[in-house]
Structure 1
């Protein structure tokens, strides 16, 4: 694969909401984008997505030479990947469709070019079954909209080559993404599994008449969601343990895992799990004390509250 800084053209295969979001992101970073989608109205929809995203991308800051004019929609798949240094596939979530499409992309793309799928849940092992060269196929899972949300989860499959996983991660970082390079395949990856757990419990509460949709949304936006932009759930609970951190939190609140608060089955809090959580928080804290983390959290929550209030046209703080 070409080095990340040498790639100047990206192929976006599939021009729906996700594919269009990817195209907008790459264009804003100064790349030429060659796109293909079999739908007869694909080009018009794709250009509307890019035009709709451009004001936000302009506010974030455009790379030198960035322009929607660098988008070209081609009539065939082979023409779209011609000259591209990286391929981003964003077809609908249909396993058989993705298997066939990835095989078709593989057949017309030079062997050194990585092909990444935007799938939100399929393991690449399952998608790469008919591709002739599965070693360069990886998952590059974004979050909607890809031009605004920085996270990308990168994971290889049983036949993916390590160089492909590493180079895909490096390329995404080069184009401004926050990258999680997963150690192994996991259906739904990491973020969607966490998101799905919250979503399922929300559906349960509505179905049982335990909470309204508005109550559930407010519980997140005005509650734990305010802390998550700076500290995820693990560091959040690390601070819940006070000066004792995660170790104190688990020792003190660990028994509550057995309480039937949610419809999910809690894992057994073994000594190994406890130690893994404690050491993981220590590593993520990276030398920052509890007091320093608390100050960081407080500054971020205030900033988030003010920013959200401003975006809504109100005033807070």
Structure 2
């Protein structure tokens, strides 16, 4: 790895700027590109006169010296296909070409790309915000070279992320599929009047959320079974809870509107609310990460 890697950010939205902050925290050089007319103002507001951060509206110029390109554009397949055709033509031959896509696979994006470009293309899906959340799901496509996957893992680890290589492409990958399953049940429980949005969040924070911040699901299963491990758990309480049918939330407009109203009544909405909640989330997330680092250090 080069002493000071260069990250090219394509798309200066919330995810892209967060990636940029993470890279600068680790001493990397960052180039940010986006067609939005206020790009220079956004970058200046975030990074001031930092000489290692550069903004440009020229995509080819942005990626020409990159060790890794992290694309954060709209979640639209034709847009990503066009972007990576341009990125692949301009980026160095050894650069990793990554998309932050949360649902579109690199096989879909790279289906018509030249072989050498497709070989360098993969998904590097972060959890939001990537500067705080350690996970990066790394999904190579059908045409991705193994060396590209290895290089991507190396670069993400250099940013102190936790890259996990996903073995098979499927919609939603892994983290979002798990989140979607929990979210569906949560919406069902609120719609059925079983629990309020605030109480459901309290339950998650003080049970599964706290547990999963320290150990994983299957590790929790091992502990849940006592000395008998997961086999004991599955034969006991697991035999009962495993048969519970998941709820199916209503998706008609009226039901969805009631759900939105209930959540907004609890937490509010708008720019000021967003900023307040984001600051609280970031503060508490940093505290959890610091506590875990101190305990494991």
Shorter-chain TM-score range = 0.7 to 0.9
- Alpha-carbon spacing, 1:47–1:247, altered in 2? closer, same or farther (3 Å): farther
Q: Secondary structure at the match of 2:41?
A: helix
* 3-state SS of 1:227 partner: helix
| 1:23 matched to 2:5 | no
Which among 5, 26, 41 is matched to residue 44 of structure 1? 41
Deviations 1:261-300 (A, max 9, x none): 4238xxxxxxxxxxxxxxxxxxxxxxxxxxxxxxxxxxxx
**Structure 1 alignment gaps of length 5 or more:** 52-66, 265-303, 309-317
**8 A Cα contact 2:105 2:169, kept in partner:** yes
Partner of residue 64, structure 2: 82
- SS of match in other structure, 1:121: coil
TM-superposed deviation, 1:216? 0.9
Task: Compute the displacement of 1:256 (Å).
Answer: 2.3
- Distance (Å, rounded) in 2 between the aligned partners of 1:244 and 1:7: 49
Which residue among 98, 106, 113 is the counterpart of 2:95?
A: 113
For 1:203 and 1:171, the matched residues in 2 are separated by: 38
* Structure-1-length-normalised TM-score: 0.74
Shift of 1:196: 1.1
Tell me which residue corresponds to 2:159.
175
Residue 74 of structure 1 and its aligned partner are, at CA, apart by: 1.1
Instruction: Using the TM superposition, give the Cα deviation of residue 38 of structure 1 relative to its aligned residue in structure 2, in angstroms.
Output: 0.7
Question: Do 2:65 and 2:92's aligned partners in 1 also have CA atoms closer than 8 Å?
Answer: no
2:236 is paired with a residue whose SS is: helix
Contact kept in structure 2, 1:5 and 1:174, CA below 8 Å: no
User: CA 1:254/1:143 → structure 2, altered by over 3 Å: closer, same or farther?
Assistant: same
Residue 100 of structure 1 deviates from its aligned partner by 1.1
In the alignment, which of 3, 24, 29 is matched to residue 32 of structure 1? 29
Query: Which residue number corresponds to residue 233 of structure 2?
Result: 249
Indicate how the Cα distance of structure 1 residues 151 and 50 shifts in structure 2: closer, same or farther if over 3 A, else same.
farther
How far 1:186 sits from its partner (Å)?
2.3
Aligned pairs for 1:1-317 (under 5 A) are 4-49=1-46, 68-132=50-114, 133-257=117-241, 259-263=243-247
Q: 1:194 to 1:8 in 2, by over 3 A?
A: same
Q: Report the Cα offset of residue 70 of structure 1.
A: 1.6
In 1, Cα distance between equivalents of 2:19 and 2:91: 19
Helix, strand or coil at the partner of 2:119: helix
User: Shift of residue 75 of structure 1?
Assistant: 2.5
Question: How many equivalent residue pairs?
Answer: 251
